Amino acid sequence: MTSSEVWDEDTAIRYDASSAEMFGPEVLDPTVDFLADLAGSGAALEFAVGTGRVAIPLATRGVAVTGIELSEPMAAQLRQKVDETTLPVVMGDMATTRVPGEFDLVYLVFNTISNLRTQAEQVECFRNAARHLKPGGRFVIELWVPAIRRMPPGQSVVPMSMGENGHLVFDTYNLATQACTSHHYFHEADGTTRYGSGNFRYIWPAECDLMAQLAGLEFEARYADWHRAPFTSDSDSHISVWRKPATS
């Protein structure tokens, strides 16, 4: 059984609106450009496909995309946008669920690998990606770098963002277990405040590389964003690419 929280119907219905900034062309276009370039004329598999934010425009580019999704309400929202023929979705978790066939690209965006809250499951996610890849295929993740540098000694809370719509985000960290909880406060139109939270296990980039090695994948590249900006010690997120070795 996965340690991931399963998003319910209320969260799924609100998802696109609450993440509206992630659907903007300034965010989505470079993401899809990057992934379409790696997929080429081949097929792609998205772990945790959600409501299809990335998978649908990638499929529109002509890439044959399949998704794996744990939450039935999230998959139901996707299905309102495209049919099963256009974008097949297999229900299950991203660490163990198997989809028939092999893929040129497996990808996992928007920090979602952290939804797996044990190191063992995260390693299995890398292994599951490797199982689905053709020789020479690539696994791509988008992941935030833990904001621990912002914390003075003895503090466990980091203010992360304040959106123009009054959306406040604070993260709490347990440095011993690498557990993180994101606390979200939404200012509603009627003047009330809605609270939501999510629990994660953060992963350092170097730890990701070790997980990839355990899965038999080779490091290829790491960038600070989808525009391929250089990744530095000050980057707050990374796009990382690993490759399944080609057979001799």
Catalogue the E-assigned strands of the chain.
Answer: 43-47, 64-69, 89-91, 103-108, 133-144, 157-162, 168-174, 179-187, 193-201, 218-223, 237-243
Q: How far apart are the first and last CA of the chain?
A: 37
Placement of tokens 């890398």 in the chain: 126
User: In whole angstroms, what is the distance from residue 27 CA to residue 145 CA?
Assistant: 18
User: In whole angstroms, what is the distance from residue 122 CA to residue 116 CA?
Assistant: 6
User: In whole angstroms, what is the distance from residue 231 CA to residue 238 CA?
Assistant: 7
Please give the residue that has the higher pLDDT: either 44 or 3: 44
Are the beta carbons of 238 and 202 closer than 8 angstroms? no
Q: Tens digit of pLDDT for each residue in 174-206? A: 999 999 998 988 888 888 888 888 899 999 999
Are the beta carbons of 126 and 217 closer than 8 angstroms? yes
Count the helices and strands in the chain (H runs, E runs).
6, 11
Q: Tens digit of pLDDT for each residue in 84-108? A: 999 999 999 999 999 999 999 999 9
Q: Tens digit of pLDDT for each residue in 111-152? A: 999 999 999 999 999 999 999 999 999 999 999 998 888 877
Q: Which helix (H) or strand (E) holds 179?
A: strand 179-187
Copy the structure tokens of residue 178.
């690498």
Are the beta carbons of 106 and 140 closer than 8 angstroms? yes
